[in-house]
Amino acid sequence: MSALDKYIVTEHDVLIIGAGGAGLRAAVESSAHGVRTAVICKSLLGKAHTVMAEGGMAAAMGNVDDRDSWEVHFADTMRGGGYLNNPVMAEHHAREAPSRVRELESWGAVFDRTKDGKILQRNFGGHRYPRLAHVGDRTGLEMIRTLQDHGIHQGLDVYMEMTVAALLTSGGRVVGAYGYDRERGRMRVWRAGAVVLATGGIGKAFRITSNSWEYTGDGQALAYEVGAELQDMEFVQFHPTGMVWPPSVRGILVTEGVRGEGGVLRNSEGRRFMFDDIPELYRNQVAKDEDEGWRYVTGDKHAQRPPELLTRDHVARCINREIKAGRGSPHGGVFLDIGWIKERMPNAREHIKKKLPSMYHQFMQLAGVDITTEAMEVGPTTHYVMGGIRVDGNTQMSNVPGLFAAGEVAAGLHGANRLGGNSLSDLLVFGQRAGEHAAKFAKSNPAADVDVAQLERETARALEPFDRPNGENPYTIQHDLQDVMQDLVGIVRTQSEMEQALDRIGGLNARSEKSGVVGHREFNPGWHTAIDLRNLLTVSEAVTRSALDRKESRGAQFRDDFPTKSDECSTFNTVISKGGDGAMKLERRPISKMRPELTAIVEKNK
Ligand code: FAD
């Protein structure tokens, strides 16, 4: 009997972990390169987090404002990212996004149109011109539907409702993955020449989040365990507008599209408080009054954008300030009002229902609020992680040979903060690149034998919680972790609170090692939580250590004890890796230099 007999073993050239936009786009590309490609996902195919994306994908097509260009998109992305972005990635992204969007259309995606039949583009925070190609407020759904259809017809192998619990390495490279099916708990081994991680973000490390249950930082933690570097983990984006009421839906996203269509933020005194604090950097781009802001929303090229469309970190902090000052809404948020546009638009009700159908239903069904006539109550929610696996900007390969990453799990494109709409285009641009380069790598590096000793260790580790039926419930530990991250490493950070957080995470790690589950491996959500928890603890520690080291406020990180940007901190990216002693190691790595032509583009578009 072979040591592998107790596992279900399959072999592929390229194995893609994650079936969201990045994973599916990588799969389409890899399979187009003629290699055997498989995709694994925790839930059913088509149910990835990407499906929730509402507002649209950013691409400088210039369909609504012909002054737009890849150069302006590049400059906007770099400015939004506090100039910590990898400029190679920001350039590829800005140049290639329009082709990737048109390609998606040619595969069947049906975008909203301009009157003359072009793909319609809407305004979004931080983008100089209307740039987001969209399908009402269901853009992610259309994207996944299209990629899924296209991919399936190319003959992908799909493994649904399976969790990858470890990456397998041999001879210094990644040779596959180990995991289990969630339904039956059977152990599986996927052998592969190259692996692409496309597992998304880490939102479930926080108590209030727009993210789904799948976002437990798996890809970041799996990569870290086999020696990959994690970059800029301190930069976690808090979206300014999540639902705050009722409690069961707290955190669910209210798309920026609401503000793009004219929604305004008011405090309990009815004042548009976003006019109170406009950062110097944006002063010449922001409307002076309500009228100018409205003209911008309705497409006047010469008007400036309303202050509600400033970058997410800034809007989130302004909302936080109003709530803390006692000028919040009854349930601890502020008011977001789109219904007011009826004063300026005769068919406002139909317009809102047509442009924001999901938002209309979400509020009607979950909160009993008709957004065409009543204001929504909203507050900040953990939304996106800019940090992730450090990759080569051209190939998406990490420092571990054969291990690639794309989408939210990877770092580099967004620097210190992501502009809305830049994620969906990121998935297409870098999913394509990751798929292409993984396929090329696999062609010259066929699947190798797995290390049986490593496999046995991973199996023992995965099943350990069953040995402690009286151990603490992993759910309790996960909840405590979410409280720690929310309260001590949230929107406003300080040294002393983050030191407390590190201490508490250490304690939670110790508790997690003693946590236990009862029952057997079939349909056992407690066991799944125990495995996810290890990943959440790893990424939480990485976020906290990186945030502590960055003694400044930049992009999504706001430090109360260092409230401004520092010149010293503008020179490095934070890099986390696993040290030889098993402890987390932090380094400061110099940021990538921009080519002189790119520097000139940034200067010109400041
Ligand atoms: P995902 O789509 O999350 O896919 C991750 C995949 O990995 C899933 O299939 C999951 O099952 C799988 N997976 C995870 N762990 C494992 C494991 N251990 N084993 C096996 N499989 C695993 N961005 C925009 O640009 N525009 C928008 O309008 C926009 N709107 C948004 C609205 C909401 C409500 C939210 C939450 C986000 C929004 N974003 C938007 C952000 C954007 O949707 C995400 O960043 C993006 O979808 C991430 O895609 P991905 O392919 O990286 O990951």
Quick: pLDDT tens for 346-355. 999 999 999 9
- Judged by average pLDDT, the poorest of 7-16, 309-318, 539-548, 553-562 is 309-318
Please give the Cα distance from 134 to 479 (Å, whole number).
Answer: 36
Q: Is the beta carbon of 242 within 6 A of some atom in ligand 1?
A: no
The residue behind tokens 């009700």 is: 349
* Percent of the residues in the chain that have a pLDDT greater than 70, as a whole number: 100
Could you tell me the two tokens for 336?
């977001």
Per-residue pLDDT at 46: 87
Q: Whose CA is nearest to atom 38 of ligand 1?
A: 53
Q: How large is the average pLDDT for residues 502-513?
A: 98
**Nearest C-alpha to atom 30 of ligand 1 is from which residue?**
53
Look at the block and give the residue holding tokens 């928890």.
533
pLDDT for the residue 213? 86
Q: What is the pLDDT of residue 248?
A: 81
Q: How far apart are CA 75 and CA 564, in angstroms?
A: 22
* Atom from ligand 1 closest to the CA of residue 23: 51
> How far is it, in rounded angstroms, from Cα 49 to Cα 150?
19
Instruction: Using the predicted structure, report yes or no on whether residue 547 has a pLDDT greater than 80.
Output: yes
Q: What's the rounded mean pLDDT across residues 462-476? A: 96
What mean pLDDT do residues 398-404 have?
98
Pocket of ligand 1 contains residue 532 by CB under 6 Å: no
* Catalytic site includes residue 259: yes
Pocket test for ligand 1, best of 16, 199, 252, 309 (most atoms within 8 A of CB): 199
Q: Is the CB of 57 under 6 A from ligand 1?
A: yes
Task: Kindly report the number of other CB atoms within 10 A of residue 504's CB atom.
Answer: 19
pLDDT at 313 over 90: no
Rounded mean pLDDT, 3-24: 95
Catalytic residue among 259, 266, 305, 314: 259
**Is the pLDDT reported for residue 281 higher than 80?**
no
Higher pLDDT, 580 or 125: 580
Mean pLDDT for 311-326 is 90
Does 198 sit in the ligand 1 pocket, CB within 6 Å?
yes
Active-site residue flag, 239? yes
Give percent of the chain with pLDDT exceeding 90.
88
For ligand 1, whether the C-beta of 535 sits within 6 Å is no
Contact 422, 186 (CB under 8 A): no
DSSP label at residue 564: S
What does the block give as tokens for 450? 């797995």
pTM for the model stands at 0.93
List of residues 6+ apart from 221 with CB closer than 8 A: 534, 535, 538, 539
For residue 407 and ligand 1, the question of a CB distance below 6 A is answered with yes
Determine the Cα–Cα distance for residues 464 and 5; give it in Å rounded to an integer. Answer: 21
Burial 560-590 (b: 16+ CB within 10 A, else e): eebeeeeeebeebbbbbbbeeeeebebeeee
Compute the average pLDDT of residues 525-542: 97
Q: Is the pLDDT of residue 1 over 70?
A: no
CA separation for the pair 554, 494 (Å, rounded): 14
State in Å: Cα 48 to ligand 1 middle.
6
Phi, psi of 9 (to 5 degrees): -110, 130
**Residue entry with tokens 């000139």:** 600
| Residue 57: per-residue pLDDT | 97
Q: Return the ligand 1 atom nearest residue 431 CA.
A: 51
| Weakest-pLDDT range from 85-94, 135-144, 432-441 | 135-144
**Per-residue pLDDT band at 192 (split at 50, 70, 90):** very high
Q: Cα–Cα distance between 260 and 106 in angstroms, integer?
A: 27
